[in-house]
């Protein structure tokens, strides 16, 4: 089975190669030319360093090197044809993805300052490094989608796929956990809110009196995804941003400056740059009231008390979730979390956050953890309590319990088969040249022969 590891662990690759910049020797020179794209020896060695850093190389470096070369080869083919098909990445999508990547770094390392120290780069420099890589990643995904968008799996396909296994070759499903949460984001103290509103009102007055909005955004906005661009987002369509932001942004006249308004991210002022049909370009300045340690403690203590009330049967977990959880996505379904990889409510160990897994793995069904700290994707800090709703023990896959898993497995194999056929069909349209002996690479020779 061929697996396409598209931009595998891009984040870790970037993190490791940047952090090791002054410690590793990069191998220069061209390894291969694929159409209009080049694979450098340093591309391969950087990923080898990443694997070593993760402890994934023991005695199998040659096989991992071959897999890296294969993956890079397929990526360059996809990028070549994405350009030929005039595929583009929407600017707002790119900015949002880069922003999420920066927030992930901050979550892993603890703060923006720690991110900058770790990489020995400013956030702006890191964004400059990440942007072209993520743009290529998104282009590859778009090209893959274009090739495989018509793939579907019927119930008969799933049943036939299941029966294609012998009993002793069926996939093993590891332990699975069904969990629900009550999330509590701390509320900023009133004095912190007042300070934020005062600063933002001062900026608004300065802009009204002639200060340049873009300059003020660069200097003061707390949105890492747009501040370096003068607070601007381009080609926004309705549905891409939170409702409160879009309600204001789409109501403005060109160059009109909004009043201060609130979203889940904080407080904003916005200015419309231009309209283009059903799209707009808009700039904004975001400021967020600072959360104190005491604010965090209040949220944690609240969940501690709520947990005891639930355990004493004073309130049901599901009722408490609806009444008190800050998570809009789960509060109305009893706090039940959905696994984005399978679209059902069961998680394997690898699907779960490590801290969460460590807390729930020893719980009995129905038990609830003590408050667990979490940093959300938008950068907010919070606490949550988690209930182990159900657990499925490790077992061989079957149609009754694991239909979704088998369907996804079958779907993935059909997509990979279609991609492989596409590569075989299109590889002859490209100029491909290796600087060493291409006969060493079985995947390439197999493509040429078929």
* pLDDT of the residue at 450: 58
- Range(s) for CATH 1.10.4030.10 in the chain? 10-145+409-449
Q: State whether residue 128 is helix, strand or coil.
A: helix
Q: State whether residue 162 is helix, strand or coil.
A: helix
Those residues whose C-beta lies under 8 Å from the C-beta of residue 259, and which sit 6 or more positions away, are 204, 269
CA distance 428 to 145: 22
Q: 151-160 long-range CB contacts below 8 Å, 24 or more apart?
A: 151/411, 151/414, 151/415, 151/418, 152/411, 153/407, 153/410, 153/411, 153/414, 157/410, 157/414, 158/399, 158/403, 158/406, 158/407, 158/410, 159/399
Contact yes or no for 342/176 (Cβ under 8 A): no
Show the tokens assigned to 117: 């120290």
| Beta-carbon-side half-sphere exposure of residue 311 (alpha carbons within 13 Å) | 14
CA distance 92 to 98: 10
Contact yes or no for 372/359 (Cβ under 8 A): yes
* pLDDT of the residue at 80: 94
Nearest Cα neighbor of 117 from 18, 50, 49, 26 is 18
What is the CATH architecture of 10-145+409-449? Answer: Orthogonal Bundle (1.10)
Q: State whether residue 288 is helix, strand or coil.
A: coil
Q: Which CATH class is domain 175-186+292-393?
A: alpha beta
CA distance 154 to 358: 37
Residues in the chain with pLDDT values less than 50: 1-27
Ordered DSSP codes for 402-428: -HHHHHHHHHHHHHHHHHHHHHHHHGG
Q: Is the pTM higher than 0.85?
A: no
- Range(s) for CATH 3.10.50.40 in the chain? 175-186+292-393, 190-287
Those residues whose C-beta lies under 8 Å from the C-beta of residue 165, and which sit 6 or more positions away, are 171
**Residue whose tokens read 């049909």:** 277
- Statement: 190-287 belongs to CATH 3.30.930.10: no
Nearest Cα neighbor of 143 from 419, 428, 447, 427 is 419
CA distance 219 to 212: 11
CA distance 290 to 193: 8
* pLDDT of the residue at 22: 44
Phi then psi dihedrals of residue 394, to 5 deg: -55, 135
* pLDDT of the residue at 438: 63
């Amino acid at each position: 089975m061929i697996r396409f590891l598209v931009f595998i662990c891009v984040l870790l690759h970037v993190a490791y190669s940047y952090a090791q910049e002054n410690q590793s020797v990069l191998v220069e020179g061209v390894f291969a030319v694929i159409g209009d794209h080049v694979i450098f020896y340093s591309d391969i060695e950087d990923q080898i360093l990443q694997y070593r850093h993760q402890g994934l190389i023991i005695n199998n470096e040659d096989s991992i090197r071959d897999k890296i070369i294969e993956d890079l080869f397929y990526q360059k083919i996809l990028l070549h044809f994405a350009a030929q098909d005039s595929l583009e990445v929407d600017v707002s999508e790119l900015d949002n993805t880069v922003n999420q990547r920066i927030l992930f770094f901050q979550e892993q390392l603890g703060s923006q300052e720690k991110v900058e120290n770790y990489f020995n780069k400013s956030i702006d420099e890191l964004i400059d490094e990440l942007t072209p890589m993520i743009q290529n990643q998104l282009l590859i995904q778009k090209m893959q989608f274009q090739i495989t968008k018509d793939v579907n799996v019927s119930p008969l396909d799933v049943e036939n796929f299941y029966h294609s296994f012998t009993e002793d070759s069926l996939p093993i499903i590891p332990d699975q956990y069904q969990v629900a949460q009550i999330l509590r984001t701390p509320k900023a103290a009133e004095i912190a809110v007042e300070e934020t509103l005062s600063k933002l009102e001062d900026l608004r007055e300065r802009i009204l009196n002639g200060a340049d909005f873009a300059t003020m955004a660069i200097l003061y906005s707390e949105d890492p995804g747009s501040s370096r661009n003068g607070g601007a987002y381009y080609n926004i369509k309705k549905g891409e941003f939170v409702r409160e932001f879009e309600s204001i942004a789409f109501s403005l006249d060109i160059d009109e400056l909004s009043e201060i308004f609130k979203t889940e991210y904080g407080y904003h002022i916005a200015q419309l740059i231009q309209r283009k049909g059903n799209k707009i370009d808009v700039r904004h300045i975001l400021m967020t009231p600072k959360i104190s340690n005491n604010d965090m403690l209040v949220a944690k203590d609240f969940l501690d008390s709520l947990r005891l009330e639930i355990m004493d049967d004073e309130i049901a977990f599901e009722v408490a979730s609806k009444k008190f959880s800050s998570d809009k996505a789960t509060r109305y379904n009893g706090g039940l979390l959905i696994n984005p990889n399978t679209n059902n409510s069961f998680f394997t160990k690898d699907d779960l956050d490590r801290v969460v897994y460590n807390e729930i793995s020893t719980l009995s069904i129905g038990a609830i953890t003590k408050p667990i700290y979490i940093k959300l994707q938008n950068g907010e800090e919070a606490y949550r309590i988690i209930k182990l709703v159900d657990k499925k023990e490790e077992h061989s896959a079957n149609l009754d319990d694991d239909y979704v898993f088998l369907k996804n497995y079958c779907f993935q194999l059909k997509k990979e088969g279609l991609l492989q056929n596409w590569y075989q069909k299109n590889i002859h349209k490209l100029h491909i040249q290796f600087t060493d002996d291409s006969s060493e690479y079985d995947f390439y020779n197999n493509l040429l022969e078929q």
